[in-house]
Structure 1
Amino acid sequence: MRSLFIGSVSERSGKTILSLGLAKNAPGKVGYFKPFKETIVYAKNRILDQDAYLMKKVLNLEAEEEIISPCSYDVFRPVSMNTMLECWDKLREGCDTMIVEGTRDITTGYIHDVSGPAIAQAIGADMVLVGDSSPGALDKIAVMKHLLGDYNIDFKGAILNMADDPAVEVFLEEKGINVLGSIPSINELKRFRVKEVVESLGAEVVVGDENLDRPVEDVMVGAMTPESAIKYMRRVGRKALITGGDRSDIQMAALSTDTSCLILTGGLYPVKTVVSKAYEKGVPILLVRYDTLTAAEMVEHLIARIDPEDEAKIKLISETVKNNINLDELWGEV
């Protein structure tokens, strides 16, 4: 059996996209393990890891999500490696390939010896590092390659996400780091839906709750005059507009263009004319307690969720990994 640990060296590294894409292209019967829960979803009064929920559905896994992703990390309440290994032994049975997804930072858990490298060593997994092409991520790939030697882990190489410059691959190769491939920026994978904004920001839906599946392809902050804003709004379709709840002028301007939702900040309710116009056009109005800057940062950093039912996006991820990663080198002989 081949086990592969996906270690992230940067926030929003694309580790879940990579894990899913590799799982869909892996040889034989494929299993999945994610030791630590991260983004939480609630299903039938159960608290589950979002990625475990996704992978169970997509890979038709028999184990429950609580086994697939069993632990929550708390530096002051450490979990034992034995707890993870018990779940691991159940999940790997009968599998030809196991994909193991780490946390957002591969070093999480180091102080209690349950970091990514420690887990990979305990289960005998090879390691792939994934990150973007920022200087900090490249530095961390180099550091982790060195540290993995202390754990006697087979480092297969690095995979870069949202990397469109082939010179970065050449740079890493010159530094002695094997690069298995780069996943380019794909606009379809950056899109999210209005309901994901609701969930991430804890927004109150003032109107339009029947249209929360609307896609969001761009984000605008309404901090200018309506006259200036309308020029930009007409150029940008399927946008989320973030503005103060008291900026009815900007809100009405947005509603006259292709807008997926209004995100009103400061906990201020919109005036009746705005609510009426939004209702007429079917545009959700979301009310959040955050200030405009904070809300904008949260939305910009929103990671588009992959639903198990989104077959088109899953197929796109699978094909992207297949076409951009050296899978023959990665898998070798199983």
Structure 2
Amino acid sequence: MPSAPLAPLLIGSCEPFSGKSAVALGLARQLSQRGVSIAFGKPLATALDEEAPNGTPTDSPLLDADVRFVGEILRLPAEQLLPSLQMQQASSAHERLLGGDLTPGEPFAALQRRLSQESERLVLLEAAGTLSEGLLFGLGLAQMARSLQAPVVLVHSWQDSRSADALLEARQQLGDLLAGVVLNAVNPELMPQLRQEVVPALERLQIPVFGVMPRSPLLRSVTVGELGRRLEAHTLCCHDRCDLLVETLSIGAMNVNAAMEFFRRRRNMAVVTGADRTDIQLAALEASTQCLILTGAGEPLPQLLSRAEELDVPVLKVEHDTLTTVEVIEAAFGHVRLHEAVKASYAMRLVEENCRFEPLFERLRLPVPA
């Protein structure tokens, strides 16, 4: 007699960039360690990928870039990567709105048929960024959970006790389908209090907590290349080093002695300073600087670029003023996708160290490891 299909598992959030992909990776690795084969998909695509994990063109025009990345990290073959059902973009949303038909349609029915045949794999589905996102396509988190009868793991950024409001709303929408939550991006100083006071309080409200994960500068970091793209910058040197990760931002507007002392206390910086401040630029190069971002009129001196080349530090020149440049950079931190291998490895370790999914595994009726 064939085995009954495994119920899929939805991974959602109440707000974008809460850490769904990080938790999905960590959870998938723990499942793999238990001998559970998985498939991974993202029903509502946000950024399409043009290549499959092996570098060849994908058969599906709706393979999400996040799905491709998770597949690469977990070394999943193509048949274990599920194509998205719909692309989230203004034109398709406009078409859906004018058409008035908010049902997910045949693509969702095809997904249901695929899931009904999955008796050997657990299918992880990453939902949209909020509780309401995707409703226009019939792919809201609660809609999919009810249609698929899929338990949901929520990943939620935690600031203070006011953050519980969104979890209570999720509990109201999902009911017993809310399997539990992971509290993410927590101030490390608050973690003991959360574990001792907040976690028991949430569980008394029927919100099980699988883990509490600290805020991580590395996971919030952004590549030099991404900063350059957002700033529309011109890269003056070290084009091959644009994969460096920037964790912090420093503004070089003080005198050079104060700047040197300040830079010594920072790590993996992007330093924003005027193109005419060669003294600050040279001081920054001797610290933990991942890139220099120069604003204002003028060009850097040749000796500055020569020193930057020696130290492999990219130098970017922007047309924006310093204030605008800083605003763009600050908006990037914590709002980029988890598409670097070093981030993925660190995320999986964080999940392993801070999350306990045994109650979830029991609910999913997964095999107990020998």
2:83 is paired with a residue whose SS is helix
> Which amino acid in structure 1 is aligned with residue 287 of structure 2?
T
Structure 1 pair 92–52 and aligned structure 2 pair: CA distance change class (3 A): farther
**Which residue is 1:292 aligned to?**
325
Task: Decide whether the 8 Å contact of 2:131 with 2:142 is kept in 1.
Answer: yes
**Which residue is 1:143 aligned to?**
169
**Which residue is 2:256 aligned to?**
226
**Which residue is 2:21 aligned to?**
16
Deviates more, 1:102-111 or 1:40-49: 40-49
Q: TM-score, normalised on structure 2?
A: 0.76
1:206 is paired with a residue whose SS is strand
Q: Does 1:4 align with 2:12?
A: no
Task: Decide whether the 8 Å contact of 1:219 with 1:300 is kept in 2.
Answer: no
**Which residue is 2:294 aligned to?**
264
Task: Decide whether the 8 Å contact of 1:7 with 1:127 is kept in 2.
Answer: yes
Q: C-alpha distance in 2, partners of 1:203/1:45?
A: 30
Using the TM superposition, give the Cα deviation of residue 33 of structure 1 relative to its aligned residue in structure 2, in angstroms.
Answer: 1.4
> Which amino acid in structure 2 is aligned with residue 292 of structure 1?
T
Q: C-alpha distance in 2, partners of 1:80/1:169?
A: 37
Structure 1 pair 220–50 and aligned structure 2 pair: CA distance change class (3 A): farther
Structure 1 pair 244–65 and aligned structure 2 pair: CA distance change class (3 A): farther
Q: C-alpha distance in 1, partners of 2:288/2:185?
A: 27
**Which residue is 1:158 aligned to?**
181
Q: TM-score, normalised on structure 1?
A: 0.83
Q: C-alpha distance in 2, partners of 1:112/1:234?
A: 50
Deviations 1:122-164 (A, max 9, x none): 2221112211112453211111101223xxx621122111232
Deviations 1:150-182 (A, max 9, x none): xxx621122111232323323322433221221
Q: C-alpha distance in 1, partners of 2:215/2:68?
A: 25
Q: C-alpha distance in 2, partners of 1:279/1:231?
A: 23
Q: C-alpha distance in 2, partners of 1:245/1:274?
A: 11
**Which residue is 1:281 aligned to?**
311
Deviations 1:51-89 (A, max 9, x none): 111122224132496815652244323385122442464
Structure 1 pair 246–49 and aligned structure 2 pair: CA distance change class (3 A): farther
**Which residue is 1:114 aligned to?**
139
1:181 is paired with a residue whose SS is strand
Task: Decide whether the 8 Å contact of 2:41 with 2:82 is kept in 1.
Answer: no
Q: C-alpha distance in 2, partners of 1:319/1:205?
A: 34
**Which residue is 1:99 aligned to?**
124
Task: Decide whether the 8 Å contact of 1:237 with 1:259 is kept in 2.
Answer: yes
Rg bigger for which structure?
2
Q: C-alpha distance in 1, partners of 2:296/2:7?
A: 51
Task: Decide whether the 8 Å contact of 2:45 with 2:84 is kept in 1.
Answer: no
Task: Decide whether the 8 Å contact of 1:243 with 1:265 is kept in 2.
Answer: yes
Q: C-alpha distance in 2, partners of 1:36/1:295?
A: 27
Using the TM superposition, give the Cα deviation of residue 8 of structure 1 relative to its aligned residue in structure 2, in angstroms.
Answer: 0.6
**CA RMSD of superposed structures (Å):** 3.1
Name structure 1 gaps, 5 residues minimum: none
> Which amino acid in structure 1 is aligned with residue 46 of structure 2?
E
Identity of aligned residues (%): 25
Q: 1:183 aligns with which of 193, 213, 216?
A: 213
Structure 1 pair 221–40 and aligned structure 2 pair: CA distance change class (3 A): farther
**Which residue is 2:99 aligned to?**
none
Q: C-alpha distance in 2, partners of 1:319/1:260?
A: 24
Q: C-alpha distance in 2, partners of 1:261/1:154?
A: 46
Using the TM superposition, give the Cα deviation of residue 244 of structure 1 relative to its aligned residue in structure 2, in angstroms.
Answer: 4.0
2:316 is paired with a residue whose SS is strand
**Which residue is 1:77 aligned to?**
95
Task: Decide whether the 8 Å contact of 1:32 with 1:99 is kept in 2.
Answer: yes
Question: How many matched pairs?
Answer: 328
Q: Does 1:86 align with 2:110?
A: yes
Q: C-alpha distance in 2, partners of 1:56/1:127?
A: 21
Name structure 2 gaps, 5 residues minimum: 1-5, 97-101
Q: Does 1:62 align with 2:65?
A: no
Deviations 1:228-267 (A, max 9, x none): 2221112223322123445444323212323211123469
Task: Decide whether the 8 Å contact of 1:7 with 1:129 is kept in 2.
Answer: yes
Using the TM superposition, give the Cα deviation of residue 111 of structure 1 relative to its aligned residue in structure 2, in angstroms.
Answer: 4.4
Task: Decide whether the 8 Å contact of 1:221 with 1:296 is kept in 2.
Answer: no
Q: C-alpha distance in 1, partners of 2:69/2:116?
A: 18
> Which amino acid in structure 1 is aligned with residue 70 of structure 2?
M
Task: Decide whether the 8 Å contact of 1:36 with 1:73 is kept in 2.
Answer: no
